[in-house]
Every structure is written in C-alpha cells, then in structure tokens.
Amino acid sequence: MILSLRLLTFAVSLSFLPSVFGDDATRAKYAQLAQAGNGVIKLNSAEFEAITASNRDWSVAVVFTALGNEFKCAPCHTFDPNYRAVAKAWSKVSQPQRDSHFFASLDFADGQTVFRSLGLTSAPAVTFYPALKGHFKPKKTDTWSYDFNQNLFDASSLAEALSHSTPIPIPYKAPLNYGLISTVLGTLIFLAIVARFFWMFFSSYILSRWTWALFTIAASLVFTSGFMFTRIRNVPFAQNTHEGPQWIAAGYSNQFGAETWVVSTLYGTLGLSQIALIILVPRILKPQQQRIAIYIWTAVTVILYSVLISLFRLKHAGYPFHLLF
C-alpha cells in the first residue's frame, strides 16, 4: 500500500516536469530573441499569441506600431527609439528579473489580424501583459495600456509608467542632451565675446558718473511724473468737455496723459536749471557773463516753480499758496 502511494506521488511529480521545463525553454527562447533584438522581440501574429498565452509566467510590454513608409505614421517613428531605449535599459538588469519580463514590438504589416482582433485603429499603442502564474504574478492580472494622452512620448515617462508593473523598476536614465549643452555653451561663449568687446569700447561710458546721473534723472522723471499711473490705468490723454479740452484732472487720484508730459517737462527743466547753477555757471570765467547766467537760470527756476504751483492749484482748488501767479 505504501509502495503504491509512493509510486503515485512520483508519477504525479513527473507529470509536472514537461510543463516546468517547457516554460523554462520558452522563457530562454524569448530571452535570446530579446538579446538579439537589442532588448526588443519582433513579433508577428502567431508569435504575439504565443508570448501572451494564458499560461505565461512572464510579463511582456508590447508596442503596436506601423513603421512602414506606406503608413506615414510620424508618431510611430517618434516613439520607436524611445521605446527601444527603455528596452535596452531593461536588458542591463540581472538575469532572474530580466528574463521574467520582455519588451516586444508588433508592426501592423506583420500582425493585421491582431490589430483587428484588439480593435486597434491608431498607432502607436503600448499594452502591458502581466505574468499569470509564477513568482512574479501580481495581485491584479489585468492588462493595461499606456495612455499617450496623459503621458508623453519620451522614454522617461514610459519607463516610469512601466516600472509600476515590472519585477523591478526599469533602470532608465535619460542621456545627456549634447545638442542643448553645445547650444548653451556656444551662446555663453558668444555672449562673453560680445560683452568683452562691448566693455572695451563702452566701459568708459558705463563707468561714467554722467551716465548714471542721466539715468537717475530720467528714472526720477518717470516715477514722479505719474507715467506708471497713466500706463497702468490706461487713462486718456485729455477729456473733451462743453468748455473745451480738459487736460488736467481734478482730485488726487485722477490724472490725464497730458499731465504726465507737462509735469515731466517742468521737472526736467527745473532739474536742468539746478545743474546749470551748480556746475555750468561756476565754469564761466568772465564775471559779467557769469552774473547774467545766474540771473537767467534763477529766473527760469522761479518762473517754472510758479507754473508748477499754479498747475497744482488747478488740480486742487483749495490749495492757498502761489509764487508769482
């Protein structure tokens, strides 16, 4: 009795040997095909059915593409090198994990029946078929497709998406963009040369205090004349009323575009008169001419300040002070 039970157990064990050795042989065949194809197994309709068989103990990612010139599939040609780059990265992992997942490619010219059976009407498309038995069988064995609408065509996005289902994450690293690097370096070198020549010819002007003085005066006129206010508010240049054009807006919070030009001109001329009195007049050697210049620029200062105050009184009627008029 005991002997018969042992013989029965031995016979059952022998019955599983063909399946085990068969799976190992099939996996080894696909591993050789992947190695020969630089990580990608080229399929036809029959080979697709075999590699996605229901008794597989490996997972496989299949790209459905149409690379023939007659199909004119530009996205297929764009995506193909990225898919192969991810497959090549997977070929560098250790053998137990590498031979438990494969990358395959099925062209429309070689698998029209598969395209029709799956209802594929566009390419490229990537579908992941998980292992259905064995050590790497996941909890969820549903196939899923890579969504090109939510993801990109680049290799990094594909590797990240597939790494959630492969035995181990795909060790893909994006190659250096030598074109971008050379462009940036060339641009920096060109800018450095331009800056060098610019500095050679214009450094005296850049370092001159007169340049910065003019810049400071110009900036002061822009910021004190209400230029930014009129630009931001997009106010009109003037306003037509029953009494004629009105170019001074009443109140503290209103201003027309004409006011900006008038006020900036007054401020600029007043600044020029002060510069003349401080710098230009002392350089006049003849006393009589110097005295006349003092009178002229002092008169300009007083008159323009009077005009400025009168404009301020027009804008704010309650202001009680004036200078000349």
pLDDT digits (tens, 9 = 90+) for 228-262: 888 888 888 888 877 777 777 777 777 888 888 88
- The reply to whether 248 falls in a domain is yes
Q: Band of the pLDDT at 23, cuts 50, 70, 90?
A: low
Do residues 43 and 64 lie in contact, with contact meaning Cβ atoms separated by under 8 Å?
no
Distance CA 164, CA 171 (A): 12
Q: Band of the pLDDT at 189, cuts 50, 70, 90?
A: very high
Distance CA 13, CA 10 (A): 5
- Which residues does 294 contact at the CB level (< 8 Å), separation at least 6? 277, 281
Q: Mark which of 162, 193, 227 sits at the end of a domain.
A: 162
Distance CA 207, CA 323 (A): 40
Domain count for the chain, please give it: 2
pTM for the model:
0.55
Q: Domain limits at 231?
A: 208-315
Which is it for the CA torsion 87, 91, 97, 101, positive or negative? Answer: positive
- The reply to whether 34 falls in a domain is yes
At 30, which amino acid appears? Y
Residue 35 has pLDDT above 70, yes or no: yes
- 142 and 24 co-located in one domain: yes
- 140 and 269 co-located in one domain: no
Q: Mark which of 162, 185, 216 sits at the end of a domain.
A: 162
Nearest Cα to 106, choosing from 133, 125, 130? 125
Mean of pLDDT values over 131-145: 89
- The reply to whether 26 falls in a domain is yes
**Edge-to-edge strand list for the sheet holding 101-107:** 40-43, 101-107, 59-65, 125-129, 144-145
pLDDT digits (tens, 9 = 90+) for 144-156: 999 988 888 889 9
Do residues 155 and 82 lie in contact, with contact meaning Cβ atoms separated by under 8 Å?
yes
